[in-house]
Every structure is written in C-alpha cells, then in structure tokens.
Amino acid sequence: MQTALGRQMSSGGRFTWTGLAAMIVSTPLVGLTFARVGEVVQSYFASSALVPILMGVFIGLTIVAITRFGRFGHRPTIFSATVAAAVVAAVGYETALGGTGVSPVFRSGIGKMPVPPAAFFALLAATAAVTVTIPAVRVPYCDRCGSWFRTIRNGKIDLPTSRRLAELFDVDRPDRARSPRYRLSACRSDCGPTRCELSWERSGGGVDLARVWLDDKQLSEVVAILDELNLNECETASGL
C-alpha cells in the first residue's frame, strides 16, 4: 500500500541551496572539532585505529542532529556532508599525530606498530559515520512542513489484532507469528499520510516487517482497532 506521496517521502526531501549552505558551513567545523577530540582521546587507547571509528560514530550522530534541528532532508547532501566531515576529521587527526616530525606509532603488547595513514583513518571514520547515519535518514521526510517523521503511537498487540491489521493492509501474515508490534509515524504538522509499520517474529526465526501508508479513513480504522484493544485490556485488568 504505497501511495505516490508515500514514495516521495521515502525518497527524501528536495534539494535546497539553504540546506547545502548549512552543510558546507557545518562540515569543516564538525570535522575539525572531532579531529581535536580524537587527538585528546587517542592517549586513552592502545590502538590508534579505534579512534577514527569512534570519531566517525560521533560525526554521524552530529550530522543527524544538524539535519533534525535544521529540518533538512536531502539525503545525497546529507551523506556527502557526512563523508566530508569524516575525511576532514581523519586528516586533521593524523596530521596532529605526526605534527612533531616523529613517525606516529601506537604501542601494543608486543612492541610498536606504525599508525595507519590518513587515507586509512578517513576510510574508518567515513564508514562508521555513514553506518550511523543510514538508519536515521531512512525515516520519511515531509517537504510540505519540512520535518522528519516521528513516532506518534507504538506498542505490542495481540495476535487477533495483528490479523485484523494485516487483513486491513492486505498483508500476508504467517499463522504462527509471534510478538506482533505496530508503529504509527507522521510528520509534525500531520500534513501527509501516516506510515504504519507492522512487525512480528517468525516461528522459524527472524522478523517480518510490513510498511504501509494510510490516508485519513484508513488511519481512523487503525486507531479504532487499537483503541478497542486498549479498552479490552483495561476491562480485563479491572476485572482482576
């Protein structure tokens, strides 16, 4: 159940010059900041190769925070900024380590080994940064109000309710599914369709996930089913 608007939101926000300018300004600042942080943190680790990985993780988290705060959703620009910031941080970090003119080294239990060059540092940092960024930018983005989708309702449901929702969504659900859950998410202004995720564990292992886009009528039906479940649970609890 994928609407045209749903596909548009899944593909990310539109390119804007304002967003590009924000990324151009933020990228070197983020990179240089974490290069300095990495230089300080390096003294606490035996392996210098671990530092760019940690830098990459925090660079990814920082870029995600910037996109959320700035309400910017153009994924190609976000990924480009993430990689660029990681490269700046890695090069700055490696340069700082070699700034004394002595070949940078890190100590291991059996002696000294050469620190990987800037290119290897950049690869580690960029890989870690992108790995952190990917799950965050998979969230739909609404160009109408300029906001990322947020969870408005979620939780566990029983098997009968999961069957009702699966039938409503025209989704095949195994008869022996376990631990069904749902999640409703929408943009901040509720100006687009609502996304519903229905998941369950397969009896043989693994998790199935169905994502569907709901218009207002379908959303009302889903809410009615969930409210009915909550009412039954409250009545059962009161009876105890």
Task: Enter the CATH code of domain 149-239.
Answer: 3.10.450
pLDDT, residue 109, reads: 37
Q: Where are the beta strands (DSSP E) in the chain?
A: 105-108, 111-114, 141-142, 147-148, 150-156, 178-186, 194-201, 207-214
pLDDT, residue 235, reads: 63
**Would the pTM of this model clear 0.95, i.e. be above it?**
no
The CA-to-CA distance between both ends of the chain, in Å, stands at 40
DSSP letter, residue 72: -
Regions of the chain with pLDDT less than 70: 1-12, 45-48, 98-117, 174-175, 235-240
pLDDT, residue 47, reads: 57
Picking from 146, 141, 129, 120, the residue whose alpha carbon sits closest to that of residue 82 is 129
pLDDT, residue 88, reads: 94
Within the chain, which residue ranges are assigned CATH 3.10.450?
149-239
User: Phi/psi of residue 214, each to 5°?
Assistant: -115, 130
pLDDT, residue 237, reads: 64
